[in-house]
């Protein structure tokens, strides 16, 4: 779905940060999608470190993170970029995420309770719900866009989180740094 994006192809750099997979997916990518740069890790570093290493290798102003089990709408990237270009203090955009069959929402924003536990807004709601942009605490790391330099300057995803809650931690830090995170 990334090759069908309505986005200038000369401004798109695709990197697969592969955490030492052993299922042949790295070889599959190299054979079928040679235009994707495969960053092969020697170990499974987990979501945080693997994506941090990928972001360090990227060259663009923005870096989008997308889990390998996602498919995107043609407008996905352009919709994520627009609020970052429009509003200087909005530095990160989180994407609406639907279930694979598109029947319900998986992510439509985030919050945290008084104990710091993350909450996924919109889970289980119909796909047409949550159609407006809004400020949120944190993006979902599985489908987001962020200013690359700010991401690197603030330390990226905290590598103490192997997987889960690294995105909540990132969003919290961005707000503390004076930036805003938006749901698109």
Residue 42 binned pLDDT confidence (cut-offs 50, 70, 90): very high
Phi, psi angle pair for 18, to nearest 5°: -100, 120
Round the average pLDDT of the chain to a whole number and report it: 95
Q: In whole angstroms, what is the distance from residue 80 CA to residue 25 CA?
A: 28
pLDDT one-digit tens code per residue, 130-177: 999 999 999 999 999 999 999 999 999 999 998 889 999 999 999 999
pLDDT one-digit tens code per residue, 23-35: 999 999 999 999 9
pLDDT one-digit tens code per residue, 56-88: 999 999 999 999 999 999 999 999 999 999 999
Residues 6+ apart with CB under 8 A from 9: none
């Amino acid at each position: 779905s990334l090759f069908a994006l309505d986005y200038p192809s000369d401004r798109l750099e695709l990197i697969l940060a592969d955490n030492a997979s052993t299922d042949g997916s790295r070889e599959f990518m190299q054979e079928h999608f040679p235009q994707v740069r495969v960053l092969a890790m020697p170990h499974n570093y987990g979501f945080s470190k693997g994506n941090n290493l990928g972001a360090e290798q990227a060259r663009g102003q923005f870096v989008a993170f997308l889990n390998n089990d996602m498919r995107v709408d043609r407008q996905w990237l352009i919709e994520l970029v627009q609020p970052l270009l429009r509003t200087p203090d909005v530095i990160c955009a989180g994407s609406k995420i639907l279930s694979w069959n598109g029947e319900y929402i998986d992510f439509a924003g985030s919050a945290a309770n008084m104990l710091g536990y993350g909450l996924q807004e919109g889970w289980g709601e119909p796909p047409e719900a949550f159609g407006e942009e809004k400020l949120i605490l944190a993006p979902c790391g599985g489908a987001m866009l962020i200013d690359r330099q700010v991401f690197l300057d603030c330390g990226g995803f905290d590598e103490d989180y192997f997987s889960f809650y690294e995105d909540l931690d990132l969003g919290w830090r961005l707000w503390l740094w004076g930036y805003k995170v938006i749901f698109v």
